[in-house]
């Protein structure tokens, strides 16, 4: 991933419609986003299609990005929305996990798809915040 100082210049290139900006975006974030999408969809072909949708959406809505927000988190919201739109029929309620029966390896998916905060998730898991955050970091590392 680019250093935080490089992110504004990458975003500026994307906003200017320059291919170099998109290339930097893809080179720095495709692997992480693809790994998360694969974990959610459990299908590589679907994940590839969703990854393309996510990058198109990021570039299309880059003007909406607020520089005070974390860029990766902003992209995760876009990714989560694309996965949710794909995996859940419009008529079905959003139920990802039973709060009392969530396995540790599902924590990341639960946070991404169910818009839960770490504090809400840890209550269902009976975990301390630092343990929950360490588990999330470990799961994110597995996508690289």
Reduce the DSSP state of residue 88 to 3 states and report it: coil
Is residue 22 within 8 A of residue 59, CB to CB? The reply is yes
Domains of the chain as residue ranges with CATH:
7-87 (1.10.1740.10), 99-141 (no CATH)
100's CB contacts (< 8 A; 6+ apart) are 124
The pLDDT profile of the chain, 144 residues, written as one tens digit per residue, is 666 568 999 999 999 999 999 999 999 999 999 999 998 888 899 999 999 999 999 999 999 998 888 999 999 999 998 988 776 554 444 344 444 444 444 555 555 555 555 555 545 555 556 566 666 666 666 655
* Whether the model pTM is above 0.85: no
Can you read off the two tokens belonging to residue 101?
A: 């029966």
CA–CA gap between residue 144 and residue 90 (Å, rounded): 32
- Number of C-beta neighbours around residue 52 at 10 A: 11
CA–CA gap between residue 104 and residue 12 (Å, rounded): 38
């Amino acid at each position: 991933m680019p250093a935080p100082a490089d992110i504004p210049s990458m975003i500026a290139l994307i906003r200017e419609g320059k291919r170099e900006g998109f290339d930097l975006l893809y080179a720095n974030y495709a692997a992480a986003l693809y790994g998360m999408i694969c974990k959610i969809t459990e299908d590589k072909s679907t994940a590839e299609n969703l990854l393309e949708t996510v990058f198109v959406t990021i570039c299309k809505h880059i003007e909406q990005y607020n520089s005070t927000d974390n860029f990766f988190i902003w992209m995760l919201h876009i990714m989560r929305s694309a996965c949710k739109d794909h995996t859940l029929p419009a008529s079905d309620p959003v139920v990802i996990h039973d709060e009392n029966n969530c396995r540790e390896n599902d924590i990341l998916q639960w946070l991404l798809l169910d818009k839960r905060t770490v504090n809400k998730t840890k209550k269902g898991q009976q975990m301390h915040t630092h343990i929950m955050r360490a588990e999330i970091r470990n799961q994110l590392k597995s996508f690289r």
